Amino acid sequence: MRLDWVDKLQHMLQTAAFCLAVATLQYAFEPTRPYGPPLAYSLAIGLLTWAIVDLGRHLVPSAAETGWPTGIQGLALVLVGIVLGWFGGNAIGDLLCRTFGLYPPGLVIDRGRDLRNSILITAMAGIAGSYYFYSRNRGAYLERRMGEAQRHANEARLKLLETQLEPHMLFNTLANLRALIGVDPARAQHMLDHMIAYLRSTLDASRATTHPLQAEFDRLRDYLALMAIRMGERLQVDLQLPADLALQPVPTLLLQPLVENAIQHGLEPQVGGGRLTVAARRDDGQLVLEVTDSGAGLSGSTPGSGFGLAQVRERLATLHGSRATLSLEPAQPRGTRATIRLPAA
């Protein structure tokens, strides 16, 4: 049995506040009587009842969902706690009152009425307090289950988006391969060999919703090796990943749509090709990923780019909501820069 003592301390303070409220309510109904005795009795009975019920429930088999005994065991525990709390609390309260002189001289005590009130208040307060802590545990359990369900829903959505993205990437690569077969069969075969190796090496990684940034850069390096076969010296690549960001988790295939757009719509239309830079950095608690090309720029024709960008935006929104963004802007002196900002782990 392992107790969360901070949680228990919170429970004890809440119980003490409840006892204080009960004593104050008693005093409000009988303002001619002193406040000290009902306060001493209320605290003694309430805290002892709480200790027996809330600590005692860890000594008997309890439901995993609520942490409380079920059925007759739960009812018996509350009943035992109230009875023992009443007897023990009365003894402690009487001792406190006599020790600190809380009984004023000449106080007339109606023992029959006090006994009825004490039993009634103890029973009602014990049942209410036990139900409060039981409901609190059950509420916490339901919140955990809702959180788990939401996480599973997000993972399923990410996988759905990824299953749409992977065929898109594969189709584009096959289209490039088909174009190369007609003009250079030897290079096309070399590209096909690289493609098979690339798909084999990324099969396991693609089954996860997120992976380390280092893995994302490794996949980009493999993909750019394929593109380099087709573009030759027209494609210059610079990958910048600081060592301290290598383990940052990111959605799989997050950067690849941006790289595909940069090559297909920015660099390939140019006779001389250009430079592609993929960089990662940390900025004010955020992970910043930039894909910059020196190509045609935003004013050029960009057919088909909407799918990849929409995928990236939707996946970021699913994982991080409004805390993650994707923006496009002109690069200097020319080209386009795509920037992703998301919370750093």
Give, for all 345 residues of the chain, the pLDDT tens digit.
567 888 889 999 999 999 999 999 888 888 888 889 999 999 999 999 999 999 888 888 888 777 888 888 888 999 999 999 999 999 999 899 889 888 877 766 677 778 888 888 889 888 888 888 888 888 888 888 888 877 777 767 666 666 665 566 677 777 777 777 777 788 778 777 777 767 766 665 566 678 899 988 988 888 888 788 778 888 999 999 999 999 999 988 889 889 988 988 889 888 888 999 999 999 988 999 999 999 888 765 544 457 778 888 888 888 888 899 999 999 988 899 999 999 987
Whole-model pTM over 0.85? no
User: How far apart, in Å, are the Cα atoms of 138 and each of 5, 128, 129, 135?
Assistant: 19, 15, 14, 5
CA atoms within 13 A on the CB side of 169: 28
Give strand pairing partners of 250.
Answer: 211
Comma-separated ranges of CATH 3.30.565.10 domains in the chain: 167-343
* CATH assignment of 167-343, among 3.40.190.10, 2.40.40.20, 3.40.50.300, 3.30.565.10: 3.30.565.10
Radius of gyration of the chain (CA): 35
E strands, 157-308, in order: 210-212, 235-240, 249-251, 274-283, 286-293
Enter the DSSP assignment of 296: S
How far is Cα 210 from Cα 29, in angstroms, rounded to an integer? 63
Burial of 192 (0-12, 13-18, 19+ CB in 10 A): middle
Note the helical H segments in 55-110.
56, 71-99
How far is Cα 145 from Cα 135, in angstroms, rounded to an integer? 15
How far is Cα 291 from Cα 266, in angstroms, rounded to an integer? 11
3-class secondary-structure state, position 142: helix
